[in-house]
Amino acid sequence: MKERLIFATGNEGKMREIRMILADLGMEILSMKEAEVSLDILEDGKTFGENARIKAYAVWKETGGIVLADDSGLVVDHLEGEPGIYSARYMGEDTSYEVKNQAIIRRMEGTKGAERAARFVCAIAAVLPDGQVLHTEAAMEGLIAEHPVGQGGFGYDPILYIPQFGKTSAELTMEEKNAISHRGKALKEMRAKLAALYGGRA
């Protein structure tokens, strides 16, 4: 029988990326909705990894099997790591990203070059059928742009300039972003760990 892997997210965009990257494991991949789990999870961890584990573990307690969850955000060096694990909640959950992005740019005033270093970080936790927990974490490095640029992507994409491509994350094509994204890299690392345990292509 195929192993069942549930990814603890309600986000369809994430599920598409997850299905693509984990397809070769030969597992049945389900979203929380498909697994018929509806939970309000309090993410009160202090790190991306802790929050990912809290989410995965809460769903695993309901379902068993293999449960994965992720937590991600923007980390700005000059702002001592803010907005970090509070990225979605920064300035209030209902505040638009135009406002959040402008606020971050304003807080960067007087900085230049490497002082503007920032990154998207993504942690993934997997709870296995026996309760063992696996972790991976990866980042996509950049600099806070002088102005928001680009229409693609979401969230903080318009203000993270990626020197490797000479454009912001909001200007990258889906293929460009998936190849270097924090989530893509952390997921591929997790795929390798799961493949080592369960077989399938790493």
Residue ranges binding ligand IMP (CB under 6 A): 70-74, 87-88, 120, 153-157, 169
What whole-number distance in Å separates Cα of residue 51 and Cα of residue 71? 6
Determine whether 157 is an active site residue.
Answer: no
Task: Identify the helix (H) or strand (E) that includes residue 139.
Answer: strand 133-144
Least CB distance to ligand IMP at residue 132 (A): 23
| Residue in 24, 44, 71, 94 annotated catalytic | 71
The candidate with the shortest Cα–Cα distance to 49, out of 111, 136, 129, 128, is 136
Specify the residue, 3 or 187, whose C-beta has the smaller distance to ligand IMP: 187
* Class of residue 164 by CB neighbours under 10 A (exposed 0-12, middle 13-18, buried 19+): exposed
User: Pseudo-torsion of CA 51, 52, 57, 58, nearest 10°?
Assistant: 60
Least CB distance to ligand IMP at residue 74 (A): 6
Least CB distance to ligand IMP at residue 42 (A): 13
- What is the number of the residue whose Cβ is closest to ligand IMP? 155
Specify the residue, 78 or 155, whose C-beta has the smaller distance to ligand IMP: 155
**Catalytic positions:** 71
